[in-house]
A = this chain, B = another copy of it.
């Protein structure tokens, strides 16, 4: 970290600041130039609270050189991390597609969907049991029953399960019944939940909040990693912008950016990003072309009558066609489906 002092800061104030900084166990080396003085901080500056008024009184600017995330940082871990979800490696050469309904609605439904997506090449099933909804009057999911139905579908097809957890108190309940926890966009900064998941040893698919920066996203991954759980998958699902034609705006640049900044696998959710089923195929192709490790796609047996998010769910036919296109793109980028 570099701290540029205001002109005319006295040696006494410099010492004061250095003293104040000592609490963070960083080495402070004043660098005195002809026209300005800067303090170079060496060591782990990730915990230095730059919002301190003391600093703001004597400091012109602060530059963070070290990213605030460590375990998520590619600099600390150059090779790609591969997270294994119920036997399926995520982050390797093989593109992973997680598919299924927004909400688990019944046994017949989830089994039927699982069989069809497997036929088309999906290797993980997704389905919501606990559904966070912006209205208390909307369908909230089948909860525990939904979890059981997902396991019946898994028994039928062998597909591992990824499903959303919304409450730190539910972790125990989920263990043994899920192959990967999903943290939704609205909970990306639900730190109490992240801390509990950091104690678990099951992979976590972490969705980016709809208005969070990539740095905040990686800091949330850091919460899980620093707790001891190294199995984190990053998922970009669209951010909120001035454009309202789409439900959100898919940040395609997040793929090369996250790949450069971090070693964690990156997957894309084109269904929530667009909110429009007719857009999912082209966005999926774009994501793989840009280097994504996989996709999370909503597929429903009967979109018109889905209990949630019908408008963004693919039919079996649409999904099958999308998978073929993705496979062709994968080859171009030296990946395989």
Contact = CB atoms under 8 A, between A and B. Distances in A.
Interface residues of A, number: 111
Nearest to A244: B213
Given A20-B305, A35-B29, A245-B214, A56 B311 contact: yes
A144 interface: no
Contacts of A249: 239, 241, 249, 251, 253
Interface string A25-44: 00101011111101010100
A47 interface: yes
A214 B239 contact: no
A213 B245 contact: yes
- Report the copy number of this chain in the oligomer: 4
Given A166-B191, A253-B283, A303-B53, A242 B211 contact: yes
Contact of A54 (B51, B134, B305): B305
13 contacts: A2-B61, A2-B63, A38-B38, A53-B312, A133-B191, A134-B216, A166-B190, A167-B168, A239-B241, A257-B279, A286-B287, A289-B329, A332-B332
Given A2-B63, A135-B219, A241-B241, 15 more contacts: A4-B63, A20-B304, A36-B65, A47-B137, A49-B310, A51-B275, A51-B312, A136-B195, A167-B192, A214-B245, A245-B257, A252-B286, A256-B283, A282-B291, A289-B329
